[in-house]
A and B are shown apart, each in its own frame.
Chain A
Amino acid sequence: MIALLWLRGLVTREPGPLAGVAAGTAAAVALLGSLGAFFTASEATMTARSIARVSVDWQMEVQPGASSSTVLDTVRGFPQTRAALPVAFASSSGLSASTQGAVQTTGSGAVVGLPYGYTRTFPGQLRPLVGAPEGVLVAQQTASNLHVAPGDAINVGRTGLPAVSTRVDGVVDLRQADSLFQKVGALAGSQPTAPPDNVVLVPLSTWHQLFDPVLAARPDLVHEQVHVRLSHNLPTTPVDAYDSVTGEARNLEARLAGAGRVGDNLGAALGAARGDALYAQLLFFFLGLPGVAIAGLVTLDVARTGGERRRREQALLRARGTALGQLLRLGLAEAAAAGLAGVVAGLAAAFVVGRLAFGSSSFGADPRSTLLDLGLASLVGLGIATLALAVPAWRDARSLTVATAARRVRRGRAAPAVVLVIAALFLAGAAIVYTLVQRSGYELVLAPEGVPAVSITYWALLGPLFLWLGAALLVWWLGRVLLVHGRGALGTLLAPLAGPLAGAVAGSLSRQHRLLARAVLLVALAGSFGVATSVFNSTYAQQSEVDARLTNGGDVTITEPPGAAVPPSFSARLAAIPGVAGVEPLQHRFAYVGSDLQDLYGVRPSTVVGAAKLQDAYFSGGGAAQIMARLSSQPDGILVSAETVKDFQLQPGDRLTLRLRDGRSGDLVPVSFRYVGVVKEFPTAPRDSFLVANAAYVAKATSNDAVGSFLVDTNGAPPAAVAARVRSAAGPSATVTDIGSTRRIVGSSLTALDLGGLTRLELGFALVLAAAGAGVVPALALAERRHRFTVLQALGARSGQLAAFIGAEAFLITAAGILSGALIGAALVEVLVAVLTGVFDPPPAALAVPWRQLLGITGVLLAAALGAAAWTLAASKRSTIDGLRTG
């Protein structure tokens, strides 16, 4: 077959361009393949984490008038059900207990009846704190309100019936109180904001004894549910899993024919993860596809270096009467050979790179979609090879005759002005998008609860795209214009390097404006890609660190159970533990602001700033240090949330009287504070309203210096190890958490994305591509350069003069490329962070610029350019005079 012979000839005669196309294809396939597999695996992790976070998948609400046992039977008969248990709820008119001679009472509360084995079936629901894990259990907050411990008696009030007394077996932490007490069937948003403050859990049989009489009289105070654990054999992406679970829920509701409604906790969790999954996909588009585009461009450029050879050979073949179709087949054969070689190498590289950058866990987590990803990547690779080789072959075959020789250099016509206009339009578009996304209310991804469709603000995606396109066109246009019209200036610039030859070198550069502008553009694009990814990712890392610290407080945090009176002096004992570099005590109380119960944190303003690494973004109206200084100078000062400021119409300096529980009497006592500032976030604080005040003042006013939590600074010692040591010192009732495990648990499921690995991968690719742009492409046009060298040598040029010719080129490409790459990258990351702001939690106050990494990129680029220049010089010298021997 001619095509095979042709290919063999090609590979032996001029392997450079063909190998270059294969390598470019391989780079694109490897990038696409490894990123695709990575993101697919990340989505699977998101799904898995969402499932793991839910302890009761469905809460099936038995509708009034329906039989709970019928509902239970139907649910148990449902194919997806793995376990189903009945649970009963009743409203209590109030709880009371008399301890230490005083009687404590609460307002209305909830009494929940749990069947035997509930804790084992739904392990995430309750966490036993003290006493027995089953029996009569009181929630932590309730135990603290009633001052009760296991063994104490409490009275449970019943509407219309006498209260009953029962003995407390244990105190538990209700970990999923929000979903446990949800109003099933209520529209999203109309859910009561908070679960009941007072909760008692009793065995289901006891519950029936106590509340069946209430049911008869006041059915509105009582309701029953069936709690369901489902088979978790779900699709791997959050979107598909969500669709599947909500579909099943509707199916079950239909089977129940109105007897039950599903409180779909699993669906809600997956629904929330859908947004994160979409963000992951968008990140893939923004951080992955530009790399593929650059790889494609580099490949096209590499292929161009073989264009002259192809045109020559095509002309010959045509002269011998080869048909157009045959020429086209040869072109396709070339593309197929290079493309297939590239795809195979690319897939292998994707596998290796994926393992190196992300570890084995990310690869092949979902074989079907991984296969799909790799298949898609291969198609893209073949497409690139076809574009690079077959399309130009076809174009040339149609237009070339034997006589029309290849024109290597064309007259210096600068790029048309229309390119500048288009570039300006793109940039203006990017600027508009940037301004719009900065406005409040902008959200890129909306995955509203309970709504199947997820919406994306698509126009926002145009911001980075327009910026990149506009900047690319601008660089290309400027490059051409400056090279063509700035020849004189270029000559002056080169004079120190090239001496009398400066003019000739400048002329040579100027006439190569097409090649050089392209090379500059490639380096700039690859450079901008590298800069943008590395800044974006380090900003992401910075924000997840802030998030983890916000949740955990310190490197290690010891949280005391409510009612435990641990004094600040306990810090000294903690400080003695090896690995503990500093301890910051933090008071935690509950305070009534009017009728609203809020968390109150008592701090030592002078030390907490550093110890809790307070960020300026946590406060408004001043930086962290400034606000804390204000608190320090005002002993009765208090920081409140913006909502509280609005609700109470507070002005700075206003008095605010809170009711706090007194340490000695146990009664709520009024304590007067002075409003000094607004706090938005605070370590260990909840997301909604809370208060921050001086610990010393709170201790004095309530005669109670009990510490809620201790923030431990490990100063570099591994937090997990320190946490283990602290745990034994702090006793069994305290909760000890380290920042490492917090980082893994908290936050959005987006943390399933290991952006660190992504950075390594993308930086690697950016470097390879930029180096290719800076070095390989000019070096591949070696035939051209050899000729120039031979002529210059034959004319008597000395090595210095030869070096000036090649060095000027390398210098120009690298310097202009790096400079414009840095500028584009900086602008790009600014827009990317603004558009993808939802990825960050909390949103960044400033970008984190990894200078060392960026300097490294620059260094490698310079090395690549210098290396390529040196290699070209050496290769050209070796060619000697033979180049002018034959014709």
Chain B
Amino acid sequence: MTAGAAPLVLCQGVGRNYGRGDRQLTALHDVSCSIQAGDRIAISGRSGSGKSTLAHLMAGLDEPTSGVLSWPALGRREELRPGCIGVVFQSPSLLHELTVAENVALPLEIAGAEPSRARERALEALAALDLESLAEQLPDELSGGQSQRVAVARVLATGPPLVIADEPTGQLDHTTAERMLDVLDKTCRALGAALVLTTHDARVTARYDRRWRIADGALETGERS
């Protein structure tokens, strides 16, 4: 990756306020950073520090209230999904009434893929993560770790250049979390995708060379941008 290539995400003085008037709360304040293709970054911070807010902004699921947020290498906000950015959420994000395979195939179908083709790709993605045995299970029949790995498979199936994982291990015990992160890493490597991961767990941060910190809505990258 050459330093001159267009970044996947570019934040310039990005801020996000919730509420209005006296009730106003600044969740994110003057954040500037950029994500390049192939980056692997862990963002750590305590609960309520603004991790999810930042992750959702970067994924194009939310809009900043100040500053400029752009995806120079990917396109406009409306063009990001499905396909350009895969997201693994903090809380369960599988549809309860669809099977694992159907859940994984869903973003492909949303993108307009033939249902049979989508299913094929979904099964491949599940197999790649050793989850093929779960294909016909319903989400409520899965453990927390299994659910999160299925969510990763769903990202893998669409093959995006950028994966954003918001506290993917937040609800998991340590061993399960480790397995989950292995899967995530394996996926990103397979896709050649950049990974941005948020966590409040120092043990998770330790796995990544590039560590950013967030506190009270302020991002500290420790790098010159």
User: Nearest 8 pairs between A and B by C-beta?
Assistant: A796-B81, A796-B82, A511-B97, A884-B89, A887-B91, A795-B107, A881-B61, A508-B97
One digit per residue, 1 when the CB lies within 8 angstroms of any chain A CB and 0 when it does not, for chain B 103-126 equals 001110111111100100000000
Q: How far is the CA of A410 from the CA of B87 in the complex (A)?
A: 27
Are B62 and A409 neighbours in the complex by a CB distance under 8 Å? no
Are A504 and B109 neighbours in the complex by a CB distance under 8 Å? yes
CB distance from A487 to the nearest CB of B (A): 11
With A794-B59, A880-B61 given, name 8 new contacts (CB 8 A).
A409-B139, A507-B97, A507-B99, A508-B98, A796-B107, A881-B62, A885-B52, A886-B91
Q: Which A residues fall within an 8 A CB radius of B? A: 405, 407-411, 499-504, 507-508, 511-512, 784, 787-788, 790-798, 801, 880-881, 883-887
Are A884 and B110 neighbours in the complex by a CB distance under 8 Å? no
Closest to A796 in B: B81
Which B residues are CB-close (under 8 A) to A512? 97
Are B110 and A797 neighbours in the complex by a CB distance under 8 Å? yes
Which A residues are CB-close (under 8 A) to B90? 884-887
Given known contacts A408-B140, A794-B93, is B110 in contact with A501 (CB within 8 Å)? Answer: yes
Q: How far is the CA of A508 from the CA of B97 in the complex (A)?
A: 5
Q: How far is the CA of A881 from the CA of B164 in the complex (A)?
A: 14
- The verdict on B25 contacting chain A, using a C-beta distance below 8 Å, is no
- The verdict on B13 contacting chain A, using a C-beta distance below 8 Å, is no
- The verdict on B170 contacting chain A, using a C-beta distance below 8 Å, is yes
CB distance from A139 to the nearest CB of B (A): 83
- The verdict on B138 contacting chain A, using a C-beta distance below 8 Å, is yes
Closest to B113 in A: A500
One digit per residue, 1 when the CB lies within 8 angstroms of any chain A CB and 0 when it does not, for chain B 160-172 equals 0000001100110
- The verdict on B127 contacting chain A, using a C-beta distance below 8 Å, is no
Interface band, chain B:
35 or more
Which B residues are CB-close (under 8 A) to A792? 95, 106, 110
Closest to B98 in A: A507
Which of A407, A502, A794, A801 has the most CB atoms of chain B within a 10 A radius of its CB? A794
Q: What are 30 contact pairs spanning A and B, CB under 8 A?
A: A405-B140, A407-B140, A409-B138, A500-B115, A500-B118, A501-B109, A503-B102, A503-B109, A504-B105, A504-B106, A511-B98, A512-B97, A784-B96, A791-B94, A792-B106, A793-B61, A795-B110, A795-B154, A796-B80, A796-B81, A796-B82, A796-B83, A796-B107, A797-B110, A881-B56, A881-B61, A883-B91, A884-B91, A884-B93, A886-B90
CB distance from A882 to the nearest CB of B (A): 9
Which A residues are CB-close (under 8 A) to B138? 409-411, 511
Are B170 and A887 neighbours in the complex by a CB distance under 8 Å? yes
CB distance from B80 to the nearest CB of A (A): 8
CB distance from B132 to the nearest CB of A (A): 19
Q: How far is the CA of A796 from the CA of B158 in the complex (A)?
A: 12
Given known contacts A504-B102, A794-B89, A884-B91, is B97 in contact with A409 (CB within 8 Å)? Answer: yes
Which B residues are CB-close (under 8 A) to A885? 52, 56, 90-91, 166
Which of A499, A500, A793 has the most CB atoms of chain B within a 10 A radius of its CB? A500
One digit per residue, 1 when the CB lies within 8 angstroms of any chain A CB and 0 when it does not, for chain B 24-63 equals 0000000000000000000000000000100010010110
Which B residues are CB-close (under 8 A) to A504? 98, 102, 105-106, 109
Are B110 and A788 neighbours in the complex by a CB distance under 8 Å? no
Which B residues are CB-close (under 8 A) to A787? 96
Which A residues are CB-close (under 8 A) to B52? 885-886
Closest to A795 in B: B107
Which A residues are CB-close (under 8 A) to B97? 408-409, 507-508, 511-512
Which B residues are CB-close (under 8 A) to A500? 109-110, 112-115, 118
Which A residues are CB-close (under 8 A) to B113? 500
Closest to B170 in A: A887
Which A residues are CB-close (under 8 A) to B107? 795-796
Q: How far is the CA of A503 from the CA of B114 in the complex (A)?
A: 10
CB distance from A518 to the nearest CB of B (A): 15
How many pairs of residues, A versus B, come closer than 8 Å at their CB atoms? 102
Closest to B80 in A: A796
Are A795 and B81 neighbours in the complex by a CB distance under 8 Å? yes
CB distance from B86 to the nearest CB of A (A): 9
Q: How far is the CA of A502 from the CA of B138 in the complex (A)?
A: 19
Are A503 and B115 neighbours in the complex by a CB distance under 8 Å? yes
Which B residues are CB-close (under 8 A) to A410? 138, 140
Q: How far is the CA of A884 from the CA of B166 in the complex (A)?
A: 10
Which B residues are CB-close (under 8 A) to A507? 97-99, 102
Closest to A513 in B: B97
Closest to A886 in B: B91
Q: How far is the CA of A411 from the CA of B89 in the complex (A)?
A: 25
In the complex, which residues 156-205 of chain B have their Cβ closer than 8 Å to any Cβ of chain A? 166-167, 170-171
Are B62 and A880 neighbours in the complex by a CB distance under 8 Å? yes
Are A408 and B96 neighbours in the complex by a CB distance under 8 Å? yes
Which B residues are CB-close (under 8 A) to A881? 56, 61-62
CB distance from B135 to the nearest CB of A (A): 13
Are B61 and A794 neighbours in the complex by a CB distance under 8 Å? yes
Which A residues are CB-close (under 8 A) to B62? 880-881
Q: How far is the CA of A405 from the CA of B111 in the complex (A)?
A: 33
Closest to B115 in A: A503
Q: Of B81, B98, B112, B118, which one neighbours A794 at CB under 8 angstroms?
A: B81
Q: How far is the CA of A880 from the CA of B63 in the complex (A)?
A: 11
Closest to B167 in A: A887
Are B93 and A409 neighbours in the complex by a CB distance under 8 Å? no
Q: How far is the CA of A798 from the CA of B83 in the complex (A)?
A: 14
Which B residues are CB-close (under 8 A) to A508? 95, 97-98
Which of B80, B115, B118, B171 has the most CB atoms of chain A within a 10 A radius of its CB? B115
Which B residues are CB-close (under 8 A) to A511? 96-98, 138
Q: How far is the CA of A534 from the CA of B83 in the complex (A)?
A: 55
Closest to A503 in B: B115
Q: How far is the CA of A503 from the CA of B101 in the complex (A)?
A: 12
CB distance from A7 to the nearest CB of B (A): 26
Are B110 and A887 neighbours in the complex by a CB distance under 8 Å? no
Closest to B56 in A: A881
Q: How far is the CA of A794 from the CA of B155 in the complex (A)?
A: 12
CB distance from B107 to the nearest CB of A (A): 4
Q: How far is the CA of A500 from the CA of B109 in the complex (A)?
A: 6
Which A residues are CB-close (under 8 A) to B91? 883-887
Are B111 and A791 neighbours in the complex by a CB distance under 8 Å? no
Which A residues are CB-close (under 8 A) to B170? 887
Are B106 and A795 neighbours in the complex by a CB distance under 8 Å? yes
Q: How far is the CA of A503 from the CA of B91 in the complex (A)?
A: 25
Which B residues are CB-close (under 8 A) to A784? 96
Which A residues are CB-close (under 8 A) to B166? 884-885
Q: Of A411, A788, A801, A886, which one neighbours B95 at CB under 8 angstroms?
A: A788
Which B residues are CB-close (under 8 A) to A798? 110
CB distance from B131 to the nearest CB of A (A): 18
Are A791 and B95 neighbours in the complex by a CB distance under 8 Å? yes
Are B98 and A887 neighbours in the complex by a CB distance under 8 Å? no
CB distance from B148 to the nearest CB of A (A): 11
Closest to A491 in B: B115
Q: Of B93, B111, B167, which one neighbours A796 at CB under 8 angstroms?
A: B111
CB distance from A426 to the nearest CB of B (A): 31
Closest to A495 in B: B115
Closest to B59 in A: A794
Q: How far is the CA of A798 from the CA of B56 in the complex (A)?
A: 18
Q: How far is the CA of A798 from the CA of B89 in the complex (A)?
A: 20
Q: How far is the CA of A504 from the CA of B140 in the complex (A)?
A: 17
CB distance from A802 to the nearest CB of B (A): 10
Q: How far is the CA of A511 from the CA of B118 in the complex (A)?
A: 20
CB distance from A617 to the nearest CB of B (A): 55
Q: How far is the CA of A885 from the CA of B166 in the complex (A)?
A: 8
Which A residues are CB-close (under 8 A) to B171? 887
Which A residues are CB-close (under 8 A) to B94? 791
Q: How far is the CA of A501 from the CA of B154 in the complex (A)?
A: 16
Closest to A510 in B: B97
Q: How far is the CA of A502 from the CA of B97 in the complex (A)?
A: 14
Which A residues are CB-close (under 8 A) to B80? 796
Q: How far is the CA of A795 from the CA of B105 in the complex (A)?
A: 11
Q: How far is the CA of A791 from the CA of B138 in the complex (A)?
A: 16
Q: How far is the CA of A885 from the CA of B49 in the complex (A)?
A: 13
Q: How far is the CA of A885 from the CA of B61 in the complex (A)?
A: 11
